[in-house]
Amino acid sequence: MTNFSHYEINRRLRELAAHPIDLKAALTPERIAHFSAKALGFSLLFGTERIDDEILASLLQLAKEAKVMEKMKAMQSGGRLNRIDGFPSENRSVLHTAMRDVFEQRQCGEEAKKATDLALGELHKLERFLRDIDDRFTDVIQIGIGGSDLGPKALCLALEAYYLPGRRVHFISNVDPDDAAAVLEKVNLAKTLVVVVSKSGSTLETLTNEELVRHRMKKEGLEPKKHCVAVTGKGSPMDDPEKYLESFYIWDFVGGRYSATSMVGGVSLGFVLGFRGFKEILQGAHEMDVHAQQAEPRHNLPLLSALLGIWNRNFLKLPTVAIIPYSQALHRFPAHLQQLDMESNGKRIDKSGHSVDFSTGPVIWGEPGTNGQHSFYQLIHQGTDIVPLEFIGFTHCQYTQDLEIQHTTSQEKLLSNLFAQAIALAVGQESDNPNQYFPGNRPSRILLGSKLTPHTLGALLAYYEHKVAFQGFVWNINSFDQEGVQLGKKLANEVLTLFQKKRTKGEGHFKLGEAYLRFL
Amino acid sequence: MTNFSHYEINRRLRELAAHPIDLKAALTPERIAHFSAKALGFSLLFGTERIDDEILASLLQLAKEAKVMEKMKAMQSGGRLNRIDGFPSENRSVLHTAMRDVFEQRQCGEEAKKATDLALGELHKLERFLRDIDDRFTDVIQIGIGGSDLGPKALCLALEAYYLPGRRVHFISNVDPDDAAAVLEKVNLAKTLVVVVSKSGSTLETLTNEELVRHRMKKEGLEPKKHCVAVTGKGSPMDDPEKYLESFYIWDFVGGRYSATSMVGGVSLGFVLGFRGFKEILQGAHEMDVHAQQAEPRHNLPLLSALLGIWNRNFLKLPTVAIIPYSQALHRFPAHLQQLDMESNGKRIDKSGHSVDFSTGPVIWGEPGTNGQHSFYQLIHQGTDIVPLEFIGFTHCQYTQDLEIQHTTSQEKLLSNLFAQAIALAVGQESDNPNQYFPGNRPSRILLGSKLTPHTLGALLAYYEHKVAFQGFVWNINSFDQEGVQLGKKLANEVLTLFQKKRTKGEGHFKLGEAYLRFL
């Protein structure tokens, strides 16, 4: 496989990047209409990126040289894309798409079909479970961390408008004991379902927090077994009918950060939305999966977004990306995307184990608009660094409780701000007062949907999953492992022995840990 | 005033940056102990930054050449630091420190004394108000955006462990109508106090949300006037006893992002913590104010942090900073610091109006640890870019509900992870497997406190306010205005006229806005 830097079109893109288009002169209504793509009710509007027709064609050529469509098809069919060639590594299929391939147009790859069959089994189990528990619980606490927390949490918070009456959801993730304590202050455990999520069944934070919650239940005279369900790998230490009301299964072909549409998200989402609501999320995600695999590149939303990101990152050399939903319901969605993108593409070797000579995944961050406008947009407009933005917006609001104030609704005010920011960042402002001068030429794009519902949120989630995957395909890196989190775990266990007072002497890391403990 | 690039010591620092210290070889227990400073119960541990004694001495020399201690003193005494020389600009004192200069060791500057007298008046008003409302309300909703939201929200969420029994707080900020709708689902308005915060009394988002809430109150047969208080400038459109139970005042010498210790934060914090709790925040902040002004530079915590940040930003050329509290209670604190830092120092001109030829404020982002370890730390350890980290940790947890599991408490596990990360990032790991190779030499520092209380949180807040101010002093930029947010507001109003259908023809921005509206 060719190295990213050696694709033929790469040299031309570098030349083009030396003189990117001047948006201050170029931005016209025609340009906004021209640089757009529509699919599944979404419009991707990228006239405010620093591209022209030749650059877009070259980026599409890059996608072709990198065979990204073939790789996307291979991934969804069950190819073993999670591996490093020539070195001991994970060697797995990447089949989060199979978790929602439960409608028409099923994949025909053998591995993918098997994964979908497993997913269907869990879906039926979930449907039955939700029916059986009936109204026994009002609240659910999900205990998990990383992929077992951020995605499910972002989705749950985004859909509060659609909860079944009286249902609430809480999350405990951090090993900080105050995280569990604060949640336990707020719930009546007698009416609470606890969903413990760990694929390995051995995640330190999760098991510790589970113990804290079980301890509290016993203190309150409750039987933990009647409240706790496990979401874990079959046969893991947590797959234990003595301890749990039910076990839901996940598999090593679904990575944590891609697992929100598996039972990792399914149990809590199903609890608050109802089984049908969760199925709508799956349907939206599945439609985007099919689109990512089948839409032709010039109109393929996640692919376009991936390529524009690569233009900004590798050719315009911009080190971060801000993702700004103009939707308060999506307030934790950037935190999920931060994990999804940075854990997938924050890599320094390619799939053959060679150190890369180009930049991979950028720093991803973001907060909702309009809030950000009153906060960090100062730097976005007038800072010394350029931050490309990905805006997300919707035509309609979720609750129907909008009011016309001074002849416009809040939703109209929100959208006006969104569009105004894209324009302002692109065209800037001349001024004799240097403090009122805006340099412009700051790139952004908008993904515009109709309304944030379970269905469209599923599609939005999958849009980002595939954007990340497409970028990894272009860079030829493994977007599906996470070796970089291992060293910290190992050293944490070493430092922990100091607290256990098991060891009084040691060298290396042990001595360094000791030096820190003196400050406590 | 000398330009940052022309300080004499700047050239030496650039030379030193060409060969920064190799932490893989250099990190020893002695180094950890040596590169530390203690004050007010906090330890700043910066042995894992890429500095040596000469670099530290040079950074302190830079601070001296830039006269930062003189500027800090001038700021706290009421000097007019918020201005651009030679151009129309704000021309104001910067006196958030006066809001908490209500203990011993008062400032003697005339302006500062006047500001403190005003603050004392509001504090007495607040004390009386909180006594008078007694138990009439269980919940408070704060309506504000930007500085009127992020700081108060971060502080309130950080101190839930100390709330008066039965008290709760909510925030509405976004003009997205779903923000207000979701909060209104959760409260009993009959028992709710509403704090509306806008210095000018004319912030679009805030007034719109206030209207939504007042509308709902009337629908429920409540009298809004009996529930709403205003926090605003004296004489603003919101300073109206016909509409509000009470008006609390703020002034133009307290910038929004520095206003959490004024009545902008005071009313809601006082409501949930009690007046005494709010006073403890002020006391902690005040102690850090005195420390920032009086401690000698080598042991001045916010100054050291500012200088290490400048080393990473301007000499090691690192474009972002991640702030990672190992404390779940601080989960929204990075969002506040994002505004504080990026709105203050995301500037492209110096105080004389010249374009700068160096980098100013970096992108600030962050999420709590240990959560981040299971998320974006992959990129932190093994990405192609280096991200300097600012860790925050505490010896003790807030709630006393920790358990010993496998011979250590959760708090001990949390601290082990914190220290292990600092070590792992610095020393890395050799490996024959390229995927298990960690390059190391990734800089971080730790601010370690005893326990997160109202008092220490006040100190922590002021530590960051002064870190940001010190960096602005070194760069000679105005950290106290925000002209960069104006253009977007202006264009949003133009686009809004399209929705109002007031105009059917127009040019320029109007036409661009129209092009976007066609996608709705």
Token code pair at residue A281:
């999320």
**A369 pLDDT higher than 80:** yes
Q: Which residues of B carry out catalysis?
A: 343, 374, 489
Contacts of B433 in chain A (CB under 8 A): 87-89, 353
Contacts of B495 in chain A (CB under 8 A): 415-417, 419-420, 423
Q: What is the mean pLDDT of residues A194-218?
A: 96
A139-143, strands of its sheet edge to edge = A168-172, A139-143, A192-197, A228-233, A246-250
Contacts of A147 in chain B (CB under 8 A): 374
- Distance CA(B463)–CA(B467), nearest Å, equals 6
pLDDT at B1: 62
Closest CA to A118 of A239, A253, A285: A253
Instruction: Produce one character per residue of A337-369: b if its CB has 16 or more CB atoms within 10 Å, e if not.
Output: bbbbbbbbbbbbbbbebeebeebbbbbbbbbbb
Contacts of B409 in chain A (CB under 8 A): 177, 499
Give A241→chain B minimum CA distance, Å. Answer: 22
Q: Which residues of A carry out catalysis?
A: 343, 374, 489
**A201 pLDDT higher than 90:** yes
**B504 pLDDT higher than 80:** no
**Residues B49, B26 contacting (CB under 8 angstroms):** no
Give A417→chain B minimum CA distance, Å. Answer: 5
- Distance CA(B247)–CA(B125), nearest Å, equals 9
Q: What is the mean pLDDT of residues B158-162?
A: 98
pLDDT single digits (tens) A318-344: 999 999 999 999 999 999 999 999 999
**B509 pLDDT higher than 90:** no
- Parallel, antiparallel or unpaired: strands A42-45 and A444-449: antiparallel
Average per-residue pLDDT for chain A: 96
Contacts of B364 in chain A (CB under 8 A): 376
DSSP for residue B83: -
Whether residue A485 and residue B374 make contact (CB cut-off 8 A), yes or no, is yes
Question: Dihedral (C-alpha) A251, A256, A261, A267: value to the nearest 10 degrees?
Answer: 80
Whether residue A184 and residue B496 make contact (CB cut-off 8 A), yes or no, is no
- Classify burial at B166, counting beta carbons within 10 Å of its beta carbon; exposed 0-12, middle 13-18, buried 19 or more: exposed
- Distance CA(B61)–CA(A320), nearest Å, equals 32
**B380 pLDDT higher than 90:** yes
Contacts of B162 in chain A (CB under 8 A): none
Give the residue on A whose Cα is nearest the Cα of B160: A182
Give the residue on A whose Cα is nearest the Cα of B385: A359
- Distance CA(B168)–CA(A60), nearest Å, equals 53
Give A60→chain B minimum CA distance, Å. Answer: 24
Give the residue on A whose Cα is nearest the Cα of B45: A516
Candidates B88, B175, B419; nearest CB to A413: B175
Contacts of B419 in chain A (CB under 8 A): 495, 512-513, 516-517
The DSSP annotation for A390-426 comes to: EEEEESS-SSS---EETTEEHHHHHHHHHHHHHHHHH
Q: How confident is the model at residue A401 (pLDDT cuts 50, 70, 90)?
A: confident
Selected for mutation to probe chain B from A3, A32, A173, A178 (highest B CB count within 10 Å) is: A178
- Distance CA(B337)–CA(A112), nearest Å, equals 45
Whether residue B519 and residue A414 make contact (CB cut-off 8 A), yes or no, is no
Whether residue A495 and residue B377 make contact (CB cut-off 8 A), yes or no, is no
Whether residue A493 and residue B378 make contact (CB cut-off 8 A), yes or no, is no
- Parallel, antiparallel or unpaired: strands A192-197 and A228-233: parallel
Whether residue A160 and residue B401 make contact (CB cut-off 8 A), yes or no, is no
Selected for mutation to probe chain B from A347, A351, A378 (highest B CB count within 10 Å) is: A378
CA B483 to chain centre: 19
Give B67→chain A minimum CA distance, Å. Answer: 23
CB atoms under 10 Å from CB of A73, counted, come to 16
**A106 pLDDT higher than 90:** no
Q: What is the mean pLDDT of residues A151-172?
A: 98
Whether residue A176 and residue B368 make contact (CB cut-off 8 A), yes or no, is yes
Closest CA to A284 of A38, A37, A42: A42
**A499 pLDDT higher than 80:** yes
- Residue B491 CA: distances (Å) to CA of A326, A345, A367, B441, B510: 16, 36, 21, 45, 9
Whether residue A484 and residue B380 make contact (CB cut-off 8 A), yes or no, is yes
- Distance CA(A416)–CA(A419), nearest Å, equals 5
Whether residue A342 and residue B483 make contact (CB cut-off 8 A), yes or no, is no
Give A366→chain B minimum CA distance, Å. Answer: 8
Whether residue B373 and residue A407 make contact (CB cut-off 8 A), yes or no, is no
Give A403→chain B minimum CA distance, Å. Answer: 7
Contacts of B358 in chain A (CB under 8 A): 384
Contacts of A184 in chain B (CB under 8 A): 401
pLDDT at A484: 96
Q: What is the mean pLDDT of residues A210-223?
A: 97
Closest CA to B346 of B322, B367, B364: B364
Selected for mutation to probe chain B from A327, A405, A435, A475 (highest B CB count within 10 Å) is: A435
- Distance CA(A129)–CA(A422), nearest Å, equals 46
CB atoms under 10 Å from CB of B112, counted, come to 22
Token code pair at residue A18:
């030396």
The DSSP annotation for A269-308 comes to: HHHHH-HHHHHHHHHHHHHHHHHHHHS-GGG-HHHHHHHH
- Residue A365 CA: distances (Å) to CA of B180, B338, B449: 24, 11, 27
pLDDT at B505: 64
- Distance CA(B157)–CA(B272), nearest Å, equals 10
Whether residue A145 and residue B343 make contact (CB cut-off 8 A), yes or no, is no
Give the residue on A whose Cα is nearest the Cα of B341: A376
Contacts of A317 in chain B (CB under 8 A): none
Give A258→chain B minimum CA distance, Å. Answer: 12
Give percent of chain A above pLDDT 90.
Answer: 94
Whether residue A436 and residue B185 make contact (CB cut-off 8 A), yes or no, is no
Average per-residue pLDDT for chain B: 96
Q: pTM score, two decimals?
A: 0.97
Give the residue on A whose Cα is nearest the Cα of B509: A423
Give B17→chain A minimum CA distance, Å. Answer: 21
pLDDT single digits (tens) A11-62: 999 999 999 999 999 999 999 999 999 999 999 999 999 999 999 999 999 9
Selected for mutation to probe chain A from B408, B451, B516 (highest A CB count within 10 Å) is: B516
Whether residue B87 and residue A434 make contact (CB cut-off 8 A), yes or no, is yes
**Residues A129, A246 contacting (CB under 8 angstroms):** yes
- Classify burial at A135, counting beta carbons within 10 Å of its beta carbon; exposed 0-12, middle 13-18, buried 19 or more: exposed
Selected for mutation to probe chain B from A350, A419, A427, A452 (highest B CB count within 10 Å) is: A419
Which residues are CB-contacts of A430 (< 8 A; sequence separation ≥ 6)? A437
pLDDT at A154: 98
- Distance CA(A174)–CA(B174), nearest Å, equals 28
Contacts of A209 in chain B (CB under 8 A): 410
pLDDT single digits (tens) B420-470: 999 999 999 999 999 999 999 999 999 999 999 999 999 999 999 999 999
Whether residue B376 and residue A343 make contact (CB cut-off 8 A), yes or no, is yes
Positive or negative, the Cα torsion across B380, B322, A370, B91? negative
CA A258 to chain centre: 7
**A389 pLDDT higher than 90:** yes
Token code pair at residue B318:
């690192």
| Least trusted range by pLDDT, from A75-89, A144-158, A258-272, B396-410 | B396-410
pLDDT single digits (tens) A293-313: 999 999 999 999 999 999 999
- Distance CA(B116)–CA(B455), nearest Å, equals 19
DSSP for residue A349: B
Q: Is the peptide bond before B370 cis (omega within 30 degrees of 0)?
A: yes
pLDDT single digits (tens) B17-51: 999 999 999 999 999 999 999 999 999 999 999 99
Whether residue A381 and residue B484 make contact (CB cut-off 8 A), yes or no, is yes
DSSP for residue A365: E
Give the residue on B whose Cα is nearest the Cα of A27: B512
Give A44→chain B minimum CA distance, Å. Answer: 10
Contacts of A318 in chain B (CB under 8 A): none
Whether residue A516 and residue B422 make contact (CB cut-off 8 A), yes or no, is yes
CB atoms under 10 Å from CB of B246, counted, come to 17
**Residues B307, B453 contacting (CB under 8 angstroms):** no
